[in-house]
Amino acid sequence: MRLIQRAFALLAFLSVVACGGAQKASSVSPSPSGSPGASAIDVVTTFSTLNSFVNGVGGKYVRSTNIVPVGASPETFQPTPRSIAVLNGAQLVVENGTGIDAWVDRMVRGADVPRSRVLVITDGMPVVGGNPHLWMDPVLAKTYVAKILAALVRIDPAHASAFKSNARAYDAKLDALTAWIRTKIAAIPPAKRQLIVFHDAWPYFAKRFGIHIVGSLVPAPGQEPNPRRLAQLVTLARKLHVRAVFAEPEYSAKLAHAFAGSADIKVVTDLYDDSIGHRAVVSDYISMMRYNTEQLVHALQ
């Protein structure tokens, strides 16, 4: 046990160093929102997953821009003067809230944007234990859509019927997604519906679809893993016959690989949660959730 702890202490250090180094990107990535007209509403989202909902509801009447680049983490993001400049002229700033993108509040204060233009989506939502990853449950994602719809209608009432129609269509996609995920998860034997994740991004998804999260390697990206906790998690993984540990491409995979080696389980390093991906199969929220589900089913079956 002591040997494992020492090994993890070293890996933990390496992992934190790697995580910090990987998150310096702060360029602004325009969203794939079609071809908005000259009178389109300028919307700025903090991270790319939220951008999917804005594009879904706003369609061609919205010009959306995303602050955290695709493939980077909102949890370790450091705003730069360039990312702050993006806020100038924003008619709506969409923030997830519950801490994950709190840095945008400082940016808003530094830019010429009234606070009344900021939509904090998780305000009033059923947040559990301060965990901000509510969008990972496609049923809760409908609340994201509803709040964005209300904000866009308020800013541009002339296009209210188009926004409402887009929102209805997006809700239908979310319903279909939820039903599809349920069917896919049902194919995993109940005893195998358990996972270990890199960071604690999956509780809302897990609760919705009856999956047990055995634990996470770090509480949040950028935080140092606890060697004793990791050693306990290795023991638990073996005892419960957990099939795999899952991590995301925007974070260092070193710790996940080391953990998988110690626990003798599979490692999957391309689940998407805090960011969509560059590839077409993970280029928006719906496709990202489908891809995640396929990965989970493949590794857990």
Residue 156 or residue 200: which is nearer to Zn ion going by CB? 200
Q: At what angle do helices 2-22 and 227-240 cross, to 10 degrees?
A: 110
The distance in angstroms from the start CA to the end CA of the chain is 30
Residue 223 or residue 235: which is nearer to Zn ion going by CB? 223
Candidates 274, 275, 292, 293: give the one binding Zn ion (CB under 5 A). 274
- Binding segment (CB under 5 A) for Zn ion, from list 14-22, 87-95, 176-184, 268-276: 268-276
Minimum distance, C-beta of residue 68 to Zn ion, in the bound complex (Å): 11
Read off the amino acid at residue 275: S
Alpha-carbon gap, residue 289 to 277, rounded angstroms = 11
Minimum distance, C-beta of residue 283 to Zn ion, in the bound complex (Å): 19
Would you state the structure tokens that stand for residue 120, as one six-digit string?
């904090």
**What is the per-residue burial (b if ≥16 Cβ within 10 Å, else e) of 13-36?**
eebbeebeebbebbeebebebeeb
Alpha-carbon gap, residue 100 to 88, rounded angstroms = 22
Question: What is the per-residue binding string for Zn ion in 191-210, x denoting contact by CB under 5 A?
Answer: ----------x---------
Give the binding-site size for Zn ion (rule: CB under 5 A): 2
The residues in 212-241 that bind Zn ion, with binding defined as CB under 5 A, are none
Minimum distance, C-beta of residue 162 to Zn ion, in the bound complex (Å): 32
Residue 113 or residue 125: which is nearer to Zn ion going by CB? 125
Residue 105 or residue 171: which is nearer to Zn ion going by CB? 105
Token pair 């964005």 is at which residue? 148
Residue 79 or residue 222: which is nearer to Zn ion going by CB? 222
Decide if 40 contacts 242 (C-beta within 8 A): no
Which residues of the shown chain bind Zn ion in the complex (CB under 5 A)? 201, 274
